[in-house]
Protein backbone atom coordinates (compact mmCIF):
# COMPACT_ATOMS: atom_id res chain seq x y z
CA UNK A 1 0.00 0.00 0.00
CA UNK A 2 2.80 2.38 1.00
CA UNK A 3 4.55 1.50 -2.27
CA UNK A 4 1.40 2.36 -4.23
CA UNK A 5 0.93 5.72 -2.47
CA UNK A 6 4.60 6.55 -3.16
CA UNK A 7 4.26 5.63 -6.84
CA UNK A 8 1.09 7.69 -7.28
CA UNK A 9 2.65 10.67 -5.47
CA UNK A 10 5.84 10.38 -7.56
CA UNK A 11 3.79 10.45 -10.76
CA UNK A 12 1.36 13.21 -9.84
CA UNK A 13 3.33 15.71 -7.73
CA UNK A 14 5.94 18.12 -9.10
CA UNK A 15 9.35 16.43 -8.47
CA UNK A 16 10.64 19.17 -6.12
CA UNK A 17 7.48 18.96 -3.98
CA UNK A 18 7.68 15.16 -3.93
CA UNK A 19 11.33 15.28 -2.78
CA UNK A 20 10.46 17.80 -0.04
CA UNK A 21 7.52 15.71 1.18
CA UNK A 22 9.72 12.61 1.31
CA UNK A 23 12.24 14.47 3.47
CA UNK A 24 9.46 15.53 5.87
CA UNK A 25 8.04 11.99 6.03
CA UNK A 26 11.49 10.58 6.87
CA UNK A 27 12.24 13.33 9.40
CA UNK A 28 8.96 12.69 11.21
CA UNK A 29 9.83 8.97 11.10
CA UNK A 30 6.52 8.19 9.37
CA UNK A 31 8.45 5.89 7.03
CA UNK A 32 11.98 4.57 6.69
CA UNK A 33 14.00 5.73 3.67
CA UNK A 34 14.70 2.91 1.25
CA UNK A 35 18.38 2.03 1.12
CA UNK A 36 18.86 0.20 -2.15
CA UNK A 37 22.51 -0.86 -1.63
CA UNK A 38 24.00 -3.11 1.01
CA UNK A 39 27.71 -3.44 1.77
CA UNK A 40 30.95 -2.14 0.33
CA UNK A 41 33.16 -4.59 -1.59
CA UNK A 42 36.28 -4.29 -3.67
CA UNK A 43 34.96 -6.23 -6.64
CA UNK A 44 31.53 -7.33 -7.91
CA UNK A 45 32.77 -10.93 -7.60
CA UNK A 46 33.05 -10.38 -3.81
CA UNK A 47 29.36 -9.43 -3.48
CA UNK A 48 27.18 -12.28 -2.16
CA UNK A 49 24.70 -12.49 -5.06
CA UNK A 50 21.25 -13.91 -4.45
CA UNK A 51 18.07 -14.57 -6.43
CA UNK A 52 17.17 -14.20 -10.10
CA UNK A 53 18.03 -10.47 -10.24
CA UNK A 54 16.73 -8.68 -13.33
CA UNK A 55 15.25 -11.96 -14.62
CA UNK A 56 12.82 -12.02 -11.65
CA UNK A 57 9.23 -12.59 -12.87
CA UNK A 58 7.57 -9.91 -10.70
CA UNK A 59 10.21 -7.33 -11.61
CA UNK A 60 9.85 -8.10 -15.32
CA UNK A 61 6.07 -7.83 -15.06
CA UNK A 62 6.40 -4.39 -13.39
CA UNK A 63 8.72 -3.15 -16.15
CA UNK A 64 6.32 -4.47 -18.80
CA UNK A 65 3.49 -2.51 -17.13
CA UNK A 66 5.65 0.63 -17.27
CA UNK A 67 6.31 0.14 -20.99
CA UNK A 68 2.59 -0.45 -21.59
CA UNK A 69 1.78 2.73 -19.68
CA UNK A 70 3.98 4.65 -22.11
CA UNK A 71 2.90 3.11 -25.40
CA UNK A 72 -0.24 1.11 -24.63
CA UNK A 73 -3.77 2.09 -25.67
CA UNK A 74 -4.33 4.19 -22.50
CA UNK A 75 -1.24 6.34 -23.11
CA UNK A 76 -2.87 8.90 -25.42
CA UNK A 77 -2.54 11.78 -25.99
CA UNK A 78 0.83 11.94 -24.18
CA UNK A 79 2.02 10.05 -21.11
CA UNK A 80 4.44 11.65 -18.66
CA UNK A 81 8.06 10.48 -18.86
CA UNK A 82 8.86 9.23 -15.40
CA UNK A 83 12.45 10.33 -15.34
CA UNK A 84 14.83 12.81 -16.84
CA UNK A 85 16.88 9.99 -18.45
CA UNK A 86 14.03 9.33 -20.88
CA UNK A 87 13.74 13.03 -21.65
CA UNK A 88 17.49 13.28 -22.42
CA UNK A 89 17.38 10.28 -24.77
CA UNK A 90 14.27 11.63 -26.52
CA UNK A 91 15.85 15.06 -26.97
CA UNK A 92 19.04 13.56 -28.40
CA UNK A 93 17.02 11.39 -30.81
CA UNK A 94 14.99 14.42 -31.90
CA UNK A 95 18.11 16.52 -32.59
CA UNK A 96 19.96 13.74 -34.47
CA UNK A 97 16.79 12.93 -36.40
CA UNK A 98 16.30 16.57 -37.44
CA UNK A 99 19.77 16.54 -39.05
CA UNK A 100 19.01 13.48 -41.12
CA UNK A 101 16.71 12.53 -43.97
CA UNK A 102 16.44 8.79 -43.18
CA UNK A 103 15.76 6.98 -39.92
CA UNK A 104 18.30 7.14 -37.10
CA UNK A 105 19.77 4.01 -35.50
CA UNK A 106 19.95 3.59 -31.72
CA UNK A 107 21.50 0.75 -29.74
CA UNK A 108 20.27 0.55 -26.16
CA UNK A 109 22.37 -1.71 -23.93
CA UNK A 110 20.27 -3.06 -21.05
CA UNK A 111 17.21 -1.31 -22.43
CA UNK A 112 14.73 -3.67 -20.70
CA UNK A 113 11.77 -4.80 -22.82
CA UNK A 114 11.92 -1.46 -24.68
CA UNK A 115 11.85 1.10 -21.83
CA UNK A 116 13.93 3.74 -23.67
CA UNK A 117 12.17 2.94 -26.96
CA UNK A 118 8.77 3.51 -25.33
CA UNK A 119 9.95 6.83 -23.86
CA UNK A 120 11.20 7.96 -27.27
CA UNK A 121 8.06 6.77 -29.04
CA UNK A 122 5.92 8.57 -26.47
CA UNK A 123 7.62 11.92 -27.01
CA UNK A 124 9.15 12.11 -30.51
CA UNK A 125 7.11 13.98 -33.13
CA UNK A 126 8.43 11.71 -35.90
CA UNK A 127 8.54 8.36 -34.05
CA UNK A 128 8.70 6.39 -37.31
CA UNK A 129 12.16 7.89 -37.99
CA UNK A 130 13.95 5.53 -35.66
CA UNK A 131 15.46 2.04 -35.80
CA UNK A 132 16.01 0.77 -32.27
CA UNK A 133 18.14 -2.17 -31.13
CA UNK A 134 18.00 -3.41 -27.55
CA UNK A 135 20.66 -5.71 -26.05
CA UNK A 136 19.26 -7.54 -23.04
CA UNK A 137 19.13 -10.77 -21.04
CA UNK A 138 17.39 -13.57 -22.97
CA UNK A 139 14.23 -13.51 -20.82
CA UNK A 140 13.91 -9.73 -21.12
CA UNK A 141 14.39 -9.98 -24.92
CA UNK A 142 11.44 -12.40 -24.95
CA UNK A 143 9.31 -9.89 -23.01
CA UNK A 144 10.26 -7.20 -25.51
CA UNK A 145 9.42 -9.36 -28.51
CA UNK A 146 6.03 -10.19 -26.97
CA UNK A 147 5.37 -6.49 -26.39
CA UNK A 148 6.62 -5.20 -29.74
CA UNK A 149 6.37 -8.25 -32.03
CA UNK A 150 4.23 -6.24 -34.44
CA UNK A 151 6.69 -3.35 -34.61
CA UNK A 152 9.47 -3.59 -37.25
CA UNK A 153 11.30 -0.57 -35.77
CA UNK A 154 12.60 -2.39 -32.70
CA UNK A 155 14.74 -5.54 -32.42
CA UNK A 156 16.02 -7.41 -29.39
CA UNK A 157 19.46 -9.06 -29.17
CA UNK A 158 21.03 -11.27 -26.51
CA UNK A 159 24.48 -9.82 -27.31
CA UNK A 160 25.86 -6.78 -29.10
CA UNK A 161 25.18 -7.36 -32.82
CA UNK A 162 28.49 -7.51 -34.67
CA UNK A 163 27.19 -6.36 -38.03
CA UNK A 164 25.41 -3.16 -37.13
CA UNK A 165 26.66 -0.21 -39.13
CA UNK A 166 25.96 3.51 -38.91
CA UNK A 167 24.82 3.57 -35.31
CA UNK A 168 23.91 7.14 -34.37
CA UNK A 169 23.36 6.75 -30.66
CA UNK A 170 24.46 4.19 -28.11
CA UNK A 171 22.41 4.44 -24.95
CA UNK A 172 22.85 2.67 -21.61
CA UNK A 173 20.58 3.62 -18.71
CA UNK A 174 21.56 2.08 -15.39
CA UNK A 175 23.13 -0.95 -17.07
CA UNK A 176 26.87 -0.23 -17.28
CA UNK A 177 27.26 -0.88 -13.55
CA UNK A 178 25.68 -4.32 -13.87
CA UNK A 179 28.50 -5.58 -16.07
CA UNK A 180 31.59 -7.09 -14.45
CA UNK A 181 33.91 -5.92 -17.25
CA UNK A 182 32.32 -2.48 -17.60
CA UNK A 183 35.40 -1.06 -19.36
CA UNK A 184 35.27 -3.91 -21.91
CA UNK A 185 31.58 -3.17 -22.47
CA UNK A 186 32.28 0.52 -23.14
CA UNK A 187 35.03 -0.44 -25.60
CA UNK A 188 32.73 -2.91 -27.39
CA UNK A 189 30.00 -0.27 -27.66
CA UNK A 190 32.46 2.30 -29.01
CA UNK A 191 33.60 -0.20 -31.67
CA UNK A 192 30.13 0.27 -33.19
CA UNK A 193 31.43 3.75 -33.99
CA UNK A 194 28.36 5.70 -32.83
CA UNK A 195 28.27 9.49 -33.15
CA UNK A 196 26.95 9.81 -29.58
CA UNK A 197 27.10 7.69 -26.43
CA UNK A 198 24.55 8.60 -23.78
CA UNK A 199 25.00 6.99 -20.37
CA UNK A 200 22.24 7.77 -17.90
CA UNK A 201 21.43 6.69 -14.37
CA UNK A 202 25.18 6.29 -13.91
CA UNK A 203 26.07 5.61 -10.29
CA UNK A 204 29.38 7.42 -10.16
CA UNK A 205 31.26 9.91 -8.06
CA UNK A 206 34.75 11.06 -7.07
CA UNK A 207 35.33 7.93 -4.96
CA UNK A 208 37.43 4.98 -6.12
CA UNK A 209 35.32 2.38 -7.92
CA UNK A 210 33.78 -0.14 -5.53
CA UNK A 211 31.03 -2.75 -5.58
CA UNK A 212 27.84 -3.22 -3.61
CA UNK A 213 24.72 -5.40 -3.52
CA UNK A 214 21.69 -3.82 -5.17
CA UNK A 215 18.64 -4.77 -3.09
CA UNK A 216 16.01 -3.14 -5.32
CA UNK A 217 14.41 -6.37 -6.49
CA UNK A 218 12.64 -8.37 -3.78
CA UNK A 219 14.46 -11.64 -3.06
CA UNK A 220 17.58 -10.66 -5.01
CA UNK A 221 20.95 -9.15 -4.21
CA UNK A 222 22.52 -7.99 -7.48
CA UNK A 223 26.25 -7.26 -7.57
CA UNK A 224 26.93 -3.90 -9.15
CA UNK A 225 29.66 -1.30 -9.48
CA UNK A 226 29.62 2.22 -8.16
CA UNK A 227 32.08 3.82 -10.50
CA UNK A 228 34.71 6.49 -10.38
CA UNK A 229 33.42 9.13 -12.81
CA UNK A 230 36.89 10.01 -14.10
CA UNK A 231 37.58 6.35 -14.93
CA UNK A 232 34.54 6.30 -17.25
CA UNK A 233 35.74 9.48 -18.98
CA UNK A 234 39.24 7.97 -19.38
CA UNK A 235 38.00 4.76 -21.03
CA UNK A 236 35.81 6.78 -23.37
CA UNK A 237 38.72 9.09 -24.23
CA UNK A 238 40.86 6.04 -25.12
CA UNK A 239 38.09 5.08 -27.55
CA UNK A 240 38.04 8.55 -29.12
CA UNK A 241 35.05 10.03 -27.29
CA UNK A 242 34.95 13.28 -25.34
CA UNK A 243 32.57 14.15 -22.54
CA UNK A 244 30.13 16.79 -23.83
CA UNK A 245 27.67 16.93 -20.96
CA UNK A 246 27.47 15.71 -17.41
CA UNK A 247 24.49 16.40 -15.26
CA UNK A 248 23.09 15.04 -12.04
CA UNK A 249 19.69 13.42 -12.45
CA UNK A 250 16.74 14.36 -10.32
CA UNK A 251 16.46 11.01 -8.49
CA UNK A 252 18.09 10.90 -5.04
CA UNK A 253 19.35 7.69 -3.45
CA UNK A 254 19.50 7.34 0.31
CA UNK A 255 23.05 6.28 1.17
CA UNK A 256 23.34 6.99 4.88
CA UNK A 257 24.51 3.38 5.30
CA UNK A 258 27.68 4.27 3.31
CA UNK A 259 30.63 6.36 4.52
CA UNK A 260 30.22 9.94 3.22
CA UNK A 261 33.26 9.57 0.93
CA UNK A 262 31.54 6.71 -0.96
CA UNK A 263 28.22 8.45 -1.61
CA UNK A 264 26.98 9.72 -4.98
CA UNK A 265 27.12 13.51 -5.33
CA UNK A 266 24.29 14.56 -2.95
CA UNK A 267 22.78 11.14 -3.66
CA UNK A 268 22.22 11.76 -7.39
CA UNK A 269 23.13 9.44 -10.25
CA UNK A 270 24.60 11.15 -13.32
CA UNK A 271 23.93 11.41 -17.01
CA UNK A 272 26.95 11.64 -19.32
CA UNK A 273 26.88 12.40 -23.02
CA UNK A 274 29.99 11.58 -25.05
CA UNK A 275 30.59 12.69 -28.63
CA UNK A 276 33.10 11.34 -31.10
CA UNK A 277 36.23 13.52 -30.91
CA UNK A 278 36.68 15.43 -34.16
CA UNK A 279 40.48 15.82 -34.34
C1 LIG B 1 18.73 -0.79 -13.86
S2 LIG B 1 18.06 -1.74 -15.17
C3 LIG B 1 17.78 -0.46 -16.36
C4 LIG B 1 16.73 -0.81 -17.38
C5 LIG B 1 16.41 0.31 -18.36
N6 LIG B 1 17.58 0.73 -19.11
C7 LIG B 1 15.78 1.49 -17.66
O8 LIG B 1 16.32 2.59 -17.74
O9 LIG B 1 14.72 1.32 -17.04
C10 LIG B 1 19.49 -2.57 -15.81
C11 LIG B 1 19.18 -3.43 -17.03
O12 LIG B 1 20.40 -4.04 -17.47
C13 LIG B 1 20.08 -5.32 -17.94
N14 LIG B 1 21.26 -6.19 -17.94
C15 LIG B 1 21.92 -6.70 -16.88
N16 LIG B 1 22.92 -7.49 -17.29
C17 LIG B 1 22.91 -7.47 -18.65
C18 LIG B 1 23.71 -8.08 -19.65
N19 LIG B 1 24.74 -8.88 -19.34
N20 LIG B 1 23.41 -7.84 -20.94
C21 LIG B 1 22.38 -7.03 -21.27
N22 LIG B 1 21.58 -6.41 -20.36
C23 LIG B 1 21.85 -6.63 -19.06
C24 LIG B 1 19.02 -5.80 -16.97
O25 LIG B 1 18.26 -6.89 -17.46
C26 LIG B 1 18.19 -4.54 -16.76
O27 LIG B 1 17.11 -4.46 -17.65
| Same domain as 6, residue 121 | no
Per the structure, how many domains does the chain have?
2
Query: pLDDT value at position 98?
Result: 93
Q: Which atom of ligand 1 sits closest to the CA of residue 66? A: 9
Where on the phi/psi map is residue 276: left (φ > 0), alpha (ψ -120 to 50), or beta? beta
Query: pLDDT value at position 54?
Result: 97
Q: Determine which residue's CA is closest to atom 1 belonging to ligand 1.
A: 174
Question: With b meaning 16 or more CB within 10 Å and e meaning fewer, what string describes 147-165?
Answer: bbeeeeebbbeeebeeebe
| Same domain as 132, residue 27 | no
| Same domain as 27, residue 160 | no
| Same domain as 92, residue 1 | no
- CA neighbours closer than 13 Å in the CB half-sphere of residue 225: 22
CATH number, domain with residue 122: 3.40.50.150
Ligand 1 contacts (CB < 6 A) are: 54, 110-112, 115, 135-137, 140, 173-175, 178-179, 201
pLDDT tens-digit readout, 66-76 = 999 888 877 76
Query: pLDDT value at position 72?
Result: 81
User: Do you find a cis peptide bond into 162, omega within 30 degrees of 0?
Assistant: no
Beta bridge partners of 156: 134
Range of the structural domain that residue 256 is part of: 36-276
Q: Which atom of ligand 1 sits closest to the CA of residue 85? A: 8
User: 28 C-alpha vs ligand 1 centroid, how far in Å?
Assistant: 35
Q: What is the pTM of this model?
A: 0.90
Low-confidence ranges of the chain (pLDDT < 70): 1-3, 15, 76-82, 279
To test the ligand 1 pocket, which listed residue (137, 156, 157, 184) has its Cβ within 8 A of the most ligand atoms?
137
User: 232 C-alpha vs ligand 1 centroid, how far in Å?
Assistant: 18
Give all strands (DSSP E) within 50-99, no chain letters. none
CA 190 – CA 188 distance, rounded (Å): 5
Contact at 8 Å (CB) between 172 and 108?
yes
Return the number of other C-beta atoms located less than 10 Å from residue 48's C-beta. 10
Q: Determine which residue's CA is closest to atom 27 belonging to ligand 1.
A: 112
Amino acid sequence: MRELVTQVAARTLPPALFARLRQIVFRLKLAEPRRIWRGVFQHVRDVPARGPGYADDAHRAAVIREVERLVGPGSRPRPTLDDDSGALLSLLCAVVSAQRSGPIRVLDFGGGPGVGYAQVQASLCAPHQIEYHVVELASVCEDGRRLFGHDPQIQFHASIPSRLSSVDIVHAAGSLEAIEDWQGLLRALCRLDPRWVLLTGVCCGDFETFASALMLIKGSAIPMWLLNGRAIVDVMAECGYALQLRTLLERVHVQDNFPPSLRLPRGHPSAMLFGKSVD
